[in-house]
Amino acid sequence: MDMVADKRLKDYKDYGIVDPMSMVYDKRLKDYGGIGDKNGTYRWIRLAIQMGAEEVNLTYLLNYNFNSPFSFEILSGLLPSKLKHLRLETISIAPPAAPKVISDDQPLVLHSLATLELDDVIVDQTALKTIFSTCVNLRNLVLRECIFDPNLTISGPSISNSNLKCLQILNPLHLEKLQVSLANLTYFEYSLKERQTVYRKLDPYWDSDIESDAEYNLAEMKMFYPKPKISFSNVPKLEEMRLDLGLQRYNQTVDDMFITADAPQLKRLTTRSTTSSMITTTTILDPKSEPQIPLSMAILCQLEQLELILDINYCNLLNMIPVLLACPLLQKFHLKHRNHVDKHGHTMPQTACSSKQYPFPNLKQVKIRTFYANCGNPFVFYLLGNAVALERIILDTTSCCPELCKLKHRFHEVPNQQIRAKVASPIAKLVYQNHSREK
C-alpha cells in the first residue's frame, strides 16, 4: 500500500468507525490460535475491504522463512467484500481450518475474488485445495517464481470443475512434473527464464545457516536441471497456450502434453525454443530439409494463430512454407528469431524462391522480426504472390540481439523493382517497423 492509502487507512481507524465485522473476525482469529495476527495483516486487509478496495497487494518481508501463514478462510469472513484482485508475496498458505471453524455461522468462501497472484509462495496440493475451496469464483491464477512440490497435480473434484479460466506458471522452482485438469481452462502460460534453468536441488543435509562462501562448495551440491513434464487432461475449452521454455534442456513436444491427444479448441499457440528444445531447428535451418515441427496434424489443422520465437543463427524463411501449409486455418503467423549478423553486416546468401504455388486462403497477417532482406525477401515475395487473403506483412528490422540494435544494414532494404511483383491480394500492405531504442 502506498503512503496515501496508508494515511487513509490510519485516519479511517482513528475515527473509530463502528466495525460490524469485528466480532466475526476476532472469533476466527481465536479459533485459528496458532496463526494469529502478529503483524496486523488481517486488520489492514479488513480496513481495505471496508473502504471498498478492489485490489490489494501484500508482501511479507521475513527473509524468506515463510513463518507467516496466510489464511484464505479468515479472509472469507471479511464480508461484504468488493475485493477482486489479490496479490500475495513471500508467504505460506495456512492449511484448511479445523471442523469447529467450519461450523461458524458464515460460510468459509470468498465470492468476489476473481484474480489471485502468488509471488515466491510455497505451492503444494494442500495450498491449492485451500485456494480453490475458498475462492469459489476464481478466474485467473498467476503463480510467479513459486516453490513447488516436485510433482504437482492441478486437478481433483474441487479443482477440475472450478471456474478457473487462466493459469500462468512463471519461472517455477523445483517443479519436475505438472499435471493439469481444468474443465473451464481457456488460457495456459508456462515460462522458465534462463537465470533459473539451473538451481540447487533441496538437500536435507545442507546447513542453510552456512554463510561463508568458502564453506559453500558448489561441487558438492546437487545441481538439478529442471525438465518439467507438462501434461493436460480434461481441457476441452483450452484456446490459447504460451510456452516460453527458455534455454532449458527440454525435449517434450506439444503433442506429448495432451494425455488425450486432443485439444479441440486450441486456436492460438506461442512457443519459444532453442536449438535443443521443442522445435527441431536443425531441420528448419537446413535448406535441403523441410522443418520437423512437434505438432500433429490434429493440432496444426485447427490453429488460427501461430507464433514461433527461435534462438538460431540462420533461418531460411522459405522453409517455413511447410509450417504454413500444415495450418490451413491459420490467419496470423509471427516469427521472431535471433538471425545473427556480425558487425560487418555479413549474412547467409540470398536464397531462391520456391516454384510451387499455394493459395493460403485464410492467412491475413505475417510478422517477421528480425527481418534481413537477403534471407527474407524470397519469403516475402512468395507470400505476396500467393496468399490471396493477405492484409499485412509486418517487417520489423529491429535486431533481437542487443549488441546489434543500433546497427543499420543494407540487408534490411527491399529492392524497389521486386516490390512491383504480382500481388495475389488486392489489399495486401507491407509495413516496416524499427524500434532501435528498445532495450
Contacts of 279-285 with C-beta under 8 Å, sequence gap 24+, read 279/308, 279/310, 281/310, 281/312, 284/310, 284/312, 284/315, 284/316, 284/319, 284/320, 285/312, 285/313, 285/314, 285/315, 285/316, 285/319
In angstroms, how far is CA 262 from the centroid of its own chain? 21
CA distance 192 to 201: 16
Average pLDDT across the chain, whole number: 70
Q: Sorting pLDDT into bands at 50, 70 and 90, what band is 115?
A: very high
CA distances from residue 269 to 136, 165, 188, 274 in whole angstroms, order as listed: 29, 16, 10, 16
pLDDT for position 37: 58
Which amino acid does the sequence have at 176? E
Based on the number of CB atoms within 10 Å of its own CB, is 422 exposed (0-12), middle (13-18) or buried (19 or more)? exposed
Q: Give CA–CA dist 50/42, Å, rounded.
A: 12
Confidence of residue 372 (pLDDT cuts 50, 70, 90): confident
| Distance set, CA 12 to CA 16, 50, 52, 86, 129 (Å) | 7, 10, 12, 21, 35
Q: Poorest-confidence range of 38-47, 151-160, 289-298?
A: 289-298
What local confidence, expressed as pLDDT, does residue 198 receive? 46
The distance in angstroms from the start CA to the end CA of the chain is 29
Q: At 220, is the pLDDT very low, low, confident or very high (cuts 50, 70, 90)?
A: very low
Q: How far is CA 382 from CA 55, 172, 385, in A?
A: 50, 42, 5
- Single pTM value for the model: 0.75
Question: Which of 137-146, 317-326, 366-375 holds the top average pLDDT?
Answer: 137-146
For residue 101, pLDDT over 50 is answered with no
Give me the half-sphere count of Cα atoms (radius 13 Å) on the Cβ side of residue 129. Answer: 11
* Cα–Cα distance measured from residue 245 to residue 190, given in angstroms and rounded to the nearest whole number: 7
Which grid cell is 10? 490510519
Write out pLDDT tens, residues 77-90: 666 778 899 999 88
Domains (range + CATH), the chain: 42-96+107-195+222-238 (3.80.10), 294-340+357-438 (no CATH)
pLDDT digits over 3-61, tens only?
A: 444 444 444 343 333 343 333 444 444 444 344 555 567 777 778 877 888 888 887 76
Q: Report the distance separating Cα 158 and Cα 362, nearest Å.
A: 41
The string of pLDDT tens digits covering residues 392-438 is 999 988 876 554 444 444 444 454 445 555 788 889 988 888 765 54
pLDDT at residue 164, rounded to an integer = 94
Kindly report whether the peptide bond that precedes residue 378 is cis, defined as omega within 30 degrees of 0: no
